Amino acid sequence: LGRRLLPAPSAHRASRAVRRDFERREPYNYLQVAFFKLKKLDQAVSAAHTFFVANPQHLQMREDIEKYRRMSGVKSDSFRDLEATPHWEAYEAGMQHYNADEYLQAVARLEESLTEALSALEECRALCEGPWEDEDEEEKMQPGLYEAIAAHYIQVLKCRQQCVLEIATKPGRISATEDFIPSHLDLLQFAYSQVGNQTLAAECAASYLLFYPMDEPMLEKMKQYHTELGEEAAVTARQSIQHYMQRSLVEKKLIYYAVEHLGETFNDPDLWTPDELIPENLKEKYREDQEKQKQEILDVEEREKRGPLPFEGIAVTMDSQQMNGTQRVVFDRVLTESECKDLLRLTKAAGEAGDGYRARRSPHTPHERFEGLTVLKAMQLAQNGDVEWRDAKLLLQASEKSRKIIESYFTPGKKLHFSFTHLVCRTAVDGEQEGRMDLSHPVHADNCLLDPEGQECWKEPPAYVYRDYSGILYLNDDFQGGGLFFTEMDTVTVTAEVHPKCGRLVAFSSGKENPHGVWAVSRGRRCAIALWYTHSQEHAEQERVKAQELMDQRAVEQDQPDGDERQGTDGSSRSSSEPPAPNRGTKPADRRQKPGSDRKLHPKVLRVRDEF
């Protein structure tokens, strides 16, 4: 019966892989190359810009865009988005007018955006019709005809519900703007009141209250509008919004019935869904999630009452309050001058045999050269005799010491694992600093994609979403520029600055609360150890495991346990940068692995792009 009823493939559906490529605008990546080869520059620029809008982290395309901007004969209006959706164009224009207090223009563009968004919603819903698309690759046998029909119908309903996320997702993003439709009504209500059109302001307020009937500020506004318009004035919500709401509620009711009785799952895209529609067992899970969030907030507050640091002589120079932010700190005296010199000696190897850039132009700016060395590469160079073992060992020790300091300060009792360790130098290119306007490293956050216009940070690929804390251990200060700075979400308003010096460690949480960048290095060479940490053991840096193995192997060859080697060849003590030596009967902490991972001691090498 199933075979007989199987429909022919629907004409409007492509495969998921093809649809995913088009969502990512991959064809435009090929088109810009083809147009460039054909010497059709304006079309190449448009294709490149269209791809870049959806892939702002694509470094090669960013470089291509900058080259196009410098080319003569390229028109500025060629930098246009060929896939721009009408409602997003109108929305962003409306928000610009709204933020500039130009409410008359804002009303026109936001109304256009709302109309276009509802139209796009209908188109998306229509495309939900079609043959069954099993989420799993393996075909499941349905228990019966009625169950198969129900499952198919619920799939269509869920697809329709998810359409609001599709229209609310800005091109190039995965995460949607929350409350996209209701927020239009809220903005329009205020804008209409500012231009003196109280009738339409009241209509928008009434429409907004369909979503949030207990919103106190909006209820107060409605009272005000009733007073101004007269109690006899009939104020009703818009017909289009009433229809949208009624239809959505009926669909949600059916879906939640299927969740409760047919074993379906559903991620509700809306924040405004009434509580009475949600089954009790799901409400309980929601309450548990809320409690977990509250506990995390309490944990953060508890961390303010911290104990002593694990090493003597280290000073907290600036804390979060002094740095005008949250989860930020600066430590001094983490390394001695002698240790900084030894690590700087190691950086020379980075320019000659580093991990990919080898003193080439920086990926962030053409005005600087970039050199990098990972812990594993340092150990391999030591094994080959290209650098001294004690210098390579010091890199391991200094980064481990930093990890223990940051863990004890921010997450006492909760293990931090290395995510990536990178010894990095940035060198100003002589003769190319005059009139320079760019940064050594543009403002960014370490575990999410910063969207200054939307005042949001999207925790989605290609960001390293598993990173929890970041650190920079500075090795020198004999250069100009190169300071670290923190900003607001707008990437422009600077809230704090940190000036590099030997032994200074700056640490901060990796999320949207800490956007940061690096001022241009205008003269000399700035070197530091860049450090990223994660609570997730599965994302722990596997290169450190291999590097530690090489270090242990060296200790065995020298017939001397690794923990006993405390003096450098020049006689200078290394104890200030070494964590306490591990017990002879146990493995070092950063060699622990989850069960069954012993076959993964030789994973693919991490690429230097992790530094981005």
Residues with active-site annotation: 526
Tell me the CA distances in angstroms from 499 to 444, 563, 584, 612, one per residue in order: 18, 33, 40, 21
Q: Establish how many alpha carbons lie within 13 A of residue 568's alpha carbon, considering only the half-sphere containing its beta carbon.
A: 19
Contact 511, 447 (CB under 8 A): yes
The string of DSSP codes covering 78-132 is: G---TT--HHHHHHHHHHHHHHTT-HHHHHHHHHHHHHHHHHHHHHHHHTT-SS-
* Sign of the alpha-carbon dihedral angle for 378, 384, 387, 393: positive
SS3 content of the chain, % helix, strand, coil (to 5): 45, 15, 40
What is the rounded distance in angstroms from the CA atom of residue 323 to the CA atom of residue 306? 18
How many CB atoms lie under 10 A from the CB of residue 63? 13
How big is the chain by its Cα radius of gyration, in Å? 29
Tokens of 47: 């294709």
What is Dmax (Cα atoms) for the chain? 96
Q: Among 129, 128, 105, 125, which residue's Cα sits nearest to residue 117?
A: 125
Do the beta carbons of residue 303 and residue 412 sit within 8 Å?
A: yes
Q: Shortest CA distance to 479 belongs to which of 527, 530, 430?
A: 527
Question: How is residue 268 written in tokens?
Answer: 């509700």
203 C-beta neighbours (distance < 10 Å), count: 21
Residue with tokens 């509700």: 268
DSSP characters over 17-40: HHHHHHHTTHHHHHHHHHHHHTT-
Residue 44: in which H helix or E strand, if any?
helix 41-54
β-sheet bridge partners, residue 320? none
Give the residue ranges of DSSP H helices in 354-427: 375-383, 389-410
CB 76 within 8 A of CB 106: no
> Among 329, 314, 339, 384, which residue's Cα sits nearest to residue 506?
329
Other CB atoms within a 10 A radius of the CB of residue 569 amount to 8
- β-partners of residue 505 are 331, 473
CB of 396 closer than 8 Å to CB of 375: yes
Beta carbons of 100 and 183 less than 8 angstroms apart:
no
The number of residues in the chain equals 612
Distance CA 323, CA 484 (A): 12
In angstroms, rounded to a whole number, what is the distance separating the alpha carbons of residues 302 and 279?
Answer: 35
